[in-house]
Amino acid sequence: MRVFKFGGASVKDAKGVKNLVSVLKTTGHDKTLVVVSAMGKTTNAIEVVIKNYFENKDELQSSIHDVIKFHNEILLDLFANERHQVFADVKAFFDELTMFFKSNKSPDYNYVYDQTIGFGELISTTIISHYLNEVGLKNNWLDVREYIKTDNYYRRANVDWEQTQEQISSNFNKSILNITQGFLGSDANNFTTTLGREGSDYTAAIFAYCLNANSVTIWKDVPGVLNADPRYFENAQLLHQISYREAIELAFYGASVIHPKTLQPLQRKEIPLYVKSFLNPKENGTCVSKGKAIEPEIPCFIVKKNQILISLSSLDFSYIVEENISEIFSLLHLYKMKVDVIQNSAISFSVCIDNIYDNLEKLLQHLKAKFKVTSHENVSLYTIRHYSDASIKEMEKDKTVLLKQLTKETVQIVTK
């Protein structure tokens, strides 16, 4: 039993859907579950629909029509006969979406978001399931909401593992090709929920865990996991092997590897995760599994832009002690700052943060009441895992270093 996950970039148009078929024919498709995201930028487009529902009702129907048009163009490219059942099935989903906005009475944005955002996944899998049948790959379309059960923490729901295991064990047919949606679940009242960031990858891991799958493969438009983001670093190299622990470490520091919540269920049952290219499915890609930290053993580079470095010192040159640090972290939590680096000495404390919620000025005003405060905005945070002296020198070249911190395996450098 294998689990495949295809993201939106892999099925952004008819050509992508046909390529998915090619991947399945190349790799085999028996005893396989295929988890699919919404097509292309559909999730973004439905977010515009939701925004219009709350803020600009005049544009609501127009924004829904844009989503319908996008999918109809893909349908017409894939199916010659407009009387094919897929057209009616897709229309039924769009009718349901439109009816929700007409009948909904809830003012809760998070609830409305979760009831509507998943139509992208429901429609993409419907199109793909019908097309697979059309080309001879018989499959079973599953509504993931009947299998993954969660609480009602909308937009970041927590999985009810016991109930989910029961639903999957009782109702899933392992012997055939199955198609389902990523990102979605349902609560005790059968309202739709979503699983948050990297939700489709997490869906694949949940099914793999409950099915005791042999492997999970995430199909991307890159050859696998690289040791650096090629947008910022030259000569990025493919990592053939990463341990679960190392992948979690890299994700913690900001690498776009695999989200820890995806890795955790796989690690518990030691199910290997492969990251491969949907353009070159015969290539080995990257394997995340138990074993050596990384292979080859080379430095891994991560950069986070637009960070803020705040340096604090006591007004009277007294020590920065536990009580002060506790107060500082309480304020960071209050203003929803993501902390990426901390460094302290006897009379100073520095922290590099991500101002996600735009609360910097409020935080600084609060801190200035008790500390001498210096802040540097728009700094870059560079992290090197498994660093060498040469890699550090290269990183610091032509940059002003504001903070530097080394541990056994990791160096972090904040530069201006």
**DSSP label at 339?**
E
Instruction: Flag whether 268 is marked binding.
Output: no
Q: Name the residue with tokens 């609360």.
A: 359
185 is in an annotated binding site: no
Task: Please check if 199 is assigned to a binding site.
Answer: no
Which residue has tokens 């000495």? 345
1, 281, 342 from 403: Cα distances, Å? 48, 42, 10
As given in the structure block, the two tokens for residue 298 are 């080379």
Beta-bridge mates of residue 339? 353
Answer yes or no: is 121 a known binding residue. yes
| DSSP state string for 112-147 | HHHHHTTHHHHHHHHHHHHHHHHTT---EE--GGGT
Strand 348-354 versus strand 300-314 pairing type:
antiparallel
Instruction: Determine whether the annotation assigns residue 43 to a binding site.
Output: yes
Closest CA relative to residue 116, chosen from 64, 167, 164: 64
| Cα within 13 Å of Cα(143), Cβ side | 10
> Reduced to 3 states, what is the DSSP secondary structure of residue 255?
coil
For residues 203 and 3, what is the distance between their CA atoms, to the nearest angstrom? 10
State the Cα–Cα distance between residues 62 and 340, nearest whole angstrom. Answer: 41
Q: Which residues contact 393 (CB under 8 A, 6 or more apart)?
A: none
Whole-angstrom distance, CA of residue 275 vs CA of residue 265: 17
Which residues are documented as binding site for ATP? 5-8, 231
Which residues are documented as binding site? 5-8, 43, 121, 231
Which residues are documented as binding site for substrate? 43, 121
